[in-house]
Structure 1
Amino acid sequence: MQSQTHRAVTVGEIIDRLSSCDRDAPFYLAINPEFPYAHFAGEIVEARDSQGGQVVFLGEAGQSEFLPPVIAQALTWHPSTVTASRSRRAVLRSADRA
């Protein structure tokens, strides 16, 4: 996993990032690198922080399905893996013949 500095993303940044996406595509949250499931997005709540500034929260509304490995890799939660060109059985059969 890559080390990164965490900071709050602004509403404008989210809008910019999503503006190029298909408006009809399903939207999910990826929550936990150790237990990677896709989650449904829930309610949006506006509030005030301790300094009186506006903050916006996107709630989680339940678990959907296991996060596809390619997504966990793109999020740098899991390392990229290289698929072996030969199966384990083929390697074992080759070893038995030697």
Structure 2
Amino acid sequence: MTVGDILDLLSACDRDTPVRLAINPFFPMAHRLGAVHNTVDERGRPMVYIAESEEAEQFGPLPPAVAVALTWQEPVEAPRRRRRGATGPNTGQ
């Protein structure tokens, strides 16, 4: 992915919408973005790094719909619940 790709994807979003970074497909969490750093890699090619915020703030688990959209997990439906029998005081009768 390039800077142009990111700009194209973000151009469809409201400019005032907060951005979160989805990390770790095996334990998906949402993090706040921090700095953007332009540099060159070991071969001298331009490279951009997006860092997590200095506070390393984690917002908790990624919403399941986002993890599914990223193909990090399969869509899951809640298991069907069985109807339980009535519970009440045992009168011994």
TM range (shorter): 0.7 to 0.9
User: What secondary structure, in the 3-state scheme, does the structure 1 residue paired with 2:65 have?
Assistant: helix
Match of 2:67 in 1: 72
Shift of 1:88: 1.7
* Residue 39 (structure 1) aligned with residue 34 (structure 2): no
TM-score (norm 2): 0.79
Alignment of 1:51-66 (within 5 A): 51-61=43-53, 62=56, 63-66=58-61
User: 1:34 is aligned with what amino acid?
Assistant: F
Match of 2:2 in 1: 10
Q: Which has the larger radius of gyration?
A: 2
- Following TM superposition, the consecutive aligned residue runs of length 4 or more in structure 1 with deviations greater than 6 angstroms are none
User: What secondary structure, in the 3-state scheme, does the structure 1 residue paired with 2:38 have?
Assistant: strand
Match of 1:88 in 2: 81
Match of 1:3 in 2: none
Number of residue-to-residue matches in the alignment: 82
TM-score (norm 1): 0.75
Residues of 2 paired with 1:32 and 1:73: CA distance? 13
Shift of 1:82: 2.8
Residues of 2 paired with 1:35 and 1:83: CA distance? 19
Structure 1 unaligned blocks of 5 or more: 1-8, 94-98
Structure 2 unaligned blocks of 5 or more: 86-93
Q: Percent identity?
A: 45
User: What secondary structure, in the 3-state scheme, does the structure 2 residue paired with 1:73 have?
Assistant: helix
